[in-house]
A and B are shown apart, each in its own frame.
Chain A
């Protein structure tokens, strides 16, 4: 469905994409993972034919460099933050439907898909961030394209809106759409992707399953666990036997956990009949003196 060969993008002396090569099959959901500046957005824009590039990109059998408009007709694009004209939701959809040569009847279908029917008369400026992203998704779906490309689609949304949006994307993938999205949020990747392409400095650093991502990239967090004093030493023993890095800290134990498997130590202790009295997940590394 999508094939990139030696995809290279230069901005003067800066190499934004460095000979990327990958392929994506129909119906797959693939995440482009990487920090800011890794090349995720540039890669998506090259796939859309919005940027000139070296190498070759084929989307649904269309050579993007030669026929970028035709390629965009088979891709529904959702940016991180879509900027709409000062129109109502319905007028916005009518405008883009005409541009995409989609039937007028498609408008009610996509409004229903993204649950915006009751907001169709509202001005776009009156919508919340989550609703605007859903409108962008509705625009992307107007001509029923086989591919959806989403550029950090939930980056600016609150937690509930993130969940709702991810759920919509999941449903679309299950319905057969090929999904390509960029993200630096592990939970989003774990929820939506079947495969992850890890970009760093414009290069394809790693290709793996979402479950392997945290381990491969050593994405750690710290779990602080409180157990009864009677289990204090056995807790550390069990965790160390299972190769966890941990250290006691007075009445609690710090355990280093992988993103994506934060529950594992708790389940392990439970299986060993060690009751956990409380726990806390730390976003940042604990103070140095508390670490091994």
Chain B
């Protein structure tokens, strides 16, 4: 049984949060994301294809593509580097020699970074939202807020995957490589691979949909589109099929899918971290 004292978790969370907020990368990412979100909202002309939208919804649609590239990259790399970096510089060994359990350390670190990402996304989306409100282009604010919530879910899922990579990687470089590989896999290779396979092997539409929805980024994309319009026509035949097949149940289904992507890799990381041979230190056999 895994022993967890939430006071210890909170102490580590607070430290991680404070470290991250002082980190120049956090400042850079926040400014970059906030700036891009602001620029997209100011441009007015969305990247939303054929969809006719306005105000918040238009900005939300434009932000989907930004989020699909940006958030997984941040979540995966931050998560992958965290434990691996601490392991390599020896601070993890020293922390684990204190009266804490490995589960408390991992959860504390995860929550610290999760709060950091939450703050960053709130700043980014908040900036764009305030700008739109000031311009008097406040349309469907509810859809915008829902998309921000989905964005946070995606960030947490990516962070969980990053932590899983970090738990398995022996060194920082390997963890970073693993995180970047996963990012490429999810953002580009997964999408193109399914499209290529569908064309070459003439996969049935339900199989294409199933394969697509394995990818957490596609789950986010589907959920986000459903928050600003009732159907998935923009995603082609698979999107139309999904709308017809699942109807109103599709949005809860993909949201649950995203939640599963947040919980399962974190659970796996927790299990691995608490069960792997303790103290993989350079001096472990002296």
Contact = CB atoms under 8 A, between A and B. Distances in A.
A170 B8 CA distance: 32
A99 B11 contact: yes
B153 to A, nearest CB: 30
Contacts of A45: 278-279, 284
B89 A37 contact: no
Interface stretch (A74-82, A207-215, A223-231, A257-265): A74-82
A72 interface: yes
Interface stretch (B95-103, B119-127, B139-147): B95-103
Contacts of A38: 286
B109 to A, nearest CB: 12
A252 to B, nearest CB: 39
B97 A48 contact: yes
A14 B91 CA distance: 27
B286 A41 contact: yes
A52 B90 contact: no
A64 B278 CA distance: 14
Contacts of B97: 48, 50, 72, 77, 79
A167 interface: no
B284 A99 contact: no
Contact of A79 (B8, B94, B278): B94
Interface in B74-97: 89-91, 93-94, 96-97
B206 interface: no
B91 A37 contact: no
A96 B98 contact: yes
B216 to A, nearest CB: 31
A125 to B, nearest CB: 12
A72 B286 contact: no
Contacts of A48: 97
A131 interface: no
B11 A98 contact: yes
Interface residues of B, number: 25
B52 interface: no
Contacts of B11: 95, 98-99
Nearest to B105: A99
Interface residues of B: mostly helix, strand, loop or mixed?
Answer: loop
Interface string B252-279: 0000000000000000000000000111
B201 interface: no
B19 A41 contact: no
Given A82-B94, A83-B89, A99 B286 contact: no
Contacts of B94: 79, 82-84
A103 interface: no
A83 B284 contact: no
B99 A100 contact: yes
Given A45-B279, A50-B279, A51-B279, A81 B90 contact: yes
B90 A83 contact: yes
Interface in B38-90: 89-90
A99 B98 contact: yes
Interface string A89-125: 0000001101111000000000000000000000000
A69 interface: yes
A56 B286 CA distance: 21
Given A50-B278, A51-B279, A72 B98 contact: yes
Contacts of B278: 45, 50-52
Contacts of A99: 8, 11-12, 98-100
A285 interface: no
B245 interface: no
Contact of B101 (A39, A69, A101): A69
Contacts of A42: 284-286
A83 B99 CA distance: 17
Contacts of B99: 69-70, 72-73, 99-100, 143
A40 interface: yes
A95 B284 contact: no
The 6 A-B residue pairs with the shortest CB-CB distance, nearest first, are A83-B90, A41-B286, A73-B99, A72-B99, A98-B11, A77-B97
20 contacts: A36-B286, A41-B284, A42-B284, A48-B97, A50-B96, A50-B278, A50-B279, A51-B284, A52-B277, A69-B3, A69-B100, A72-B97, A72-B98, A72-B100, A73-B99, A83-B90, A83-B93, A83-B94, A95-B11, A95-B15
Given A85-B15, A99-B99, 16 more contacts: A11-B285, A14-B285, A16-B285, A45-B278, A50-B97, A51-B278, A51-B284, A69-B3, A69-B101, A72-B97, A77-B98, A83-B90, A83-B93, A84-B91, A96-B98, A100-B99
